[in-house]
Amino acid sequence: MERMISRLPKWMRRWEWILVILILLVFALFSRLQPDNYTIPKLLNQTRVYMVDVGFLALGILVVLILGDIDISIGATAALSVTVMAVTYNQGNGIPFLLAVALMLLTGALCGFVNGLLVSRFPELFPMIITLSTLTLYRGIAYIILKDQSSGRFPSWYAKDLGYGSFRLFGLDVPIMLVCILAVLPVYYIWLHKSASGRRIFAAGTNLTASRYSGVQTGRIKVMAFTLNGIMAAVGGFFLTSRTGSVKYTLATGFEMQAIAIAVLGGASTSGGRGSVIGLLLALILMTGLKNGLMLVYNDAFILNLSIGLLLILIVLIPNIAGRIRRQNTVRRQRMSLQKT
């Protein structure tokens, strides 16, 4: 097996190919089980459900994970940002919708900024704990604004065209939301993987102290990364609301874990220094396809989550076990060669 893998050219030995294989398997399996419903046109329509809102959240958290930090407040950031948008639009005496959206982005950036500031100023505290408290803080503020009510009544194009609208492309109905996130991805990729500032982020994540000594402004990078994360969270919330039509303080609960799961499945490591935009996209596709297929077959949210959890653990566990076996084999081979002499 090892020799087979080492014979492949370098670009094929990457993690992303496993994701591709899994995607093909999932597609083959479910199109066999539900031939009428698991078709490309229907799936494209269903990408609205998961791929775009969690996708943006995952893009944001990816940068934070590469830095070796974590942020569990992104769901709350999304909720607060969209709450601001909803309330300013509905109560704001004729504020144009776009201004409300701008305020939403500002709120997201602010939430992220606060997180980044705290994380970089208090390195002894763990980002986990800091973002745990900002999570309750942000959701609490959203609760103070909205209480148990929900806010809605957005302009009709928001739900009709953005939430449920689509482009006609090559005879297929492509959701506009999907186009939005697909447009952002190449920009993200180029920035993170090919530019100098992206390289600095990877460096900081691999070894914070070494990077600092090499002149990388680690404090500033952290703040920037968290702020970007906040903006992405707001955007994700924006797309989520276009479908749900109303905002409640409980919006996006649990989404932080899903976003982290997607980023990790895509190749990011929670200890930092690793991550891939392409992997993230593939993980998103895999997860959407899997979720959708399971929902059709079982009509059950829990089986869904069970499979996601299983997948997540297996994906992380198997390389570890494989590594251990490899190490034991090496030790055994060394011992045997020693015996021969």
Binders of another protein in range 113-132 (CB under 8 A): 118, 122, 124-126, 128-130, 132
Instruction: Name which of 190 and 321 has its Cβ closer to another protein.
Output: 321
Out of 92, 96, 140, 186, point to the residue binding another protein (CB under 8 A): 140
Q: Closest approach of Cβ 332 to another protein, in Å?
A: 20
Counting contacts by CB under 8 A, is residue 157 touching another protein? no
Q: Closest approach of Cβ 188 to another protein, in Å?
A: 23
d(CA 95, CA 98) in angstroms, rounded, equals 8
Contacts of 94 (CB under 8 A, 6+ apart): none
Q: Closest approach of Cβ 245 to another protein, in Å?
A: 5
The contact mask relative to another protein for 21-60 (x = CB under 8 A, - = no) is ---------------xx----x--xx-xx-----------
Compute the C-alpha angle 289/159/295, nearest 5°.
25
Contact 166, 272 (CB under 8 A): no
d(CA 54, CA 142) in angstroms, rounded, equals 20
The contact mask relative to another protein for 193-232 (x = CB under 8 A, - = no) is ----------------------------------------
d(CA 20, CA 46) in angstroms, rounded, equals 20
Counting contacts by CB under 8 A, is residue 134 touching another protein? yes
Burial of 145 (0-12, 13-18, 19+ CB in 10 A): middle
Counting contacts by CB under 8 A, is residue 325 touching another protein? no
User: Site residues for another protein, window 60-89 (CB under 8 A)?
Assistant: 70
Q: Closest approach of Cβ 29 to another protein, in Å?
A: 17
Contact 284, 51 (CB under 8 A): yes
Of all helices (H) and strands (E), which one includes residue 202?
helix 196-206
Closest CA to 130 of 142, 112, 117, 118: 118
Counting contacts by CB under 8 A, is residue 287 touching another protein? no
Q: Which residue has the tokens 């950031």?
A: 77
CA atoms within 13 A on the CB side of 198: 14
Out of 164, 189, 191, 202, point to the residue binding another protein (CB under 8 A): 164
Instruction: Name which of 186 and 319 has its Cβ closer to another protein.
Output: 319
Task: Please give the C-alpha separations between residue 270 and each of 28, 208, 319, in angstroms, as whole numbers.
Answer: 31, 14, 15
Out of 178, 260, 283, 287, point to the residue binding another protein (CB under 8 A): 260
Counting contacts by CB under 8 A, is residue 138 touching another protein? yes
Out of 106, 152, 180, 191, point to the residue binding another protein (CB under 8 A): 152
Counting contacts by CB under 8 A, is residue 139 touching another protein? yes
